[in-house]
Amino acid sequence: MPDMPAPGRVSTRGLDAWLASWRGQIDEALPSFLPAGDGPGLRSMAAPVREAMAYALLAPGKRIRPTLTLAVGEMFRADTRRLLPAACSIEMVHASSLILDDLPCMDDSPLRRGRPSCHVAFGESTAILAAVGLLNHAYAILAGEVDRARIKEVTRERLRSLSARRLAAAIGPDGVIGGQFADLEAGRGGTAGGRVDLPAMEFIHSRKTGSLFIASAEIGARLSGGLEEEVEGLVSYAKNLGLAFQITDDLIDAVGDSSAVGKPVRADAGRATFVTLCGVEGARSLAGDLVRTAITSLAPFGRGAERLRELARHVAVRDR
């Protein structure tokens, strides 16, 4: 096995440019995957729903989940252009979850990424339909991506099934939906004793945040021809990376500067977070432990996974 850099060493050489390159490719591709409107001279009654879908999907963002899909493909030396549709479908699912998360019946957030939330801009009913529309369209894109792959029919059917099941699991009661419900219950004092402890917090965010990270890595690996043991290693990596990402989000909200972050901070004041449970230094330490565990999961991939290691280190120290 090739030598690897020490797990604690931070290597950011070219990382910003690498992330910006993937983000640029994803941003360029996303509009082409939105559902088309009616032909010339016709105005669809559903046009506002399409507009709301585009508003939510094309809002500026980190694109970390689709980047993970493409980075995994890059590690396997796959044609990452072929992975772009799958990567964009995952970003659609993420955008859909953000629309729902912001609703008055959920987190009641009027802003998202520095702009009015989708329900503020378009109304609650249109926002809900847009969220369902993005979710529905994500599956259509993912199925089309598998159909276009130059693989044997039996493999195509297996990949279609595995990819759809992976995405469904990431979204469902054991994924984003389950995590969101647990988060809402915790906010209402629905946990035992009306108190959220660290295991409960990890349960919430391993599903609400981590499940889409896992789907991003696993779908990228399967569409790139990864073996089962390789997929397992990447699932472990993504699980720990997703939780570390959430912890650093909590840290940014607690101690970040809004002018540097580019969005309001202290929005989680009064809510249970990793920072309120562990303190600032404790949360940083926990994020570091998770990143080191994620990096250890990449050991079988040798130097080919160095960008994924750098991505994990970046998550641990990011400030926006």
Q: What would the 3-class secondary structure string for the chain be?
A: CCCCCCCCCCCCCCHHHHHHHHHHHHHHHHHHHCCCCCCCCCCCCCHHHHHHHHHHHCCCCCCHHHHHHHHHHHHCCCCHHHHHHHHHHHHHHHHHHHHHHHCCCCCCCCEECCEECHHHHHCHHHHHHHHHHHHHHHHHHHHHHHHHCCCCHHHHHHHHHHHHHHHHHHHCCCCHHHHHHHHHHHHCCCCHHHCCCHHHHHHHHHHHCHHHHHHHHHHHHHHCCCCHHHHHHHHHHHHHHHHHHHHHHHHHHHHCCHHHHCCCCCCCCCCCCHHHHHHHHHHHHHHHHHHHHHHHCCHHHHHHHHHHHHHHHHHHHCCC
Q: Band the pLDDT of 154: cuts 50, 70, 90.
A: very low
Mean pLDDT for 174-179 is 90
Position 153 scores a pLDDT of 46
Position 5 scores a pLDDT of 33
Position 3 scores a pLDDT of 33
Position 275 scores a pLDDT of 87
Position 316 scores a pLDDT of 82
Q: Is the pLDDT at 312 greater than 70, yes or no?
A: yes
Q: Is the pLDDT at 262 greater than 50, yes or no?
A: no
Q: Is the pLDDT at 263 greater than 80, yes or no?
A: no
Position 151 scores a pLDDT of 43
Tens-digit pLDDT profile for residues 92-145: 999 999 999 999 999 888 988 778 999 999 999 999 999 999 999 998 888 775
Question: In the chain, what percentage of residues exceed pLDDT 70?
Answer: 81
